[in-house]
Amino acid sequence: MKLTNDSYTIFIGTKNFTERYYRDKKGWVKMSARGKTFRMTAEQVLNHLLPALSGIKPNLAVKVDYNKK
């Protein structure tokens, strides 16, 4: 079982939109609800993820998928 950052996809969203975060060979990527991609640092990913996990934004749902490779 491979447990590195590139083994996971993070989904953050509401009932109206979902953003996807994943890691490729160059670093973290955010795919917006409209399908645009943006390069991100690990700190930027945490800045998007932590408010949803802490409950500050209670309408956000977080899901993490493990990608078998």
What local confidence, expressed as pLDDT, does residue 13 receive? 93
pLDDT at residue 7 tops 80:
yes
pLDDT, position 5? 87
Tokens at residue 66, please? 């493990």
pLDDT tens-digit map of 21-36: 999 999 999 999 999 9
What is the pTM for the complete model shown?
Answer: 0.88
The domains of the chain are located at 5-66
pLDDT at 24: 92
Residue 12: Cβ within 10 Å count: 22
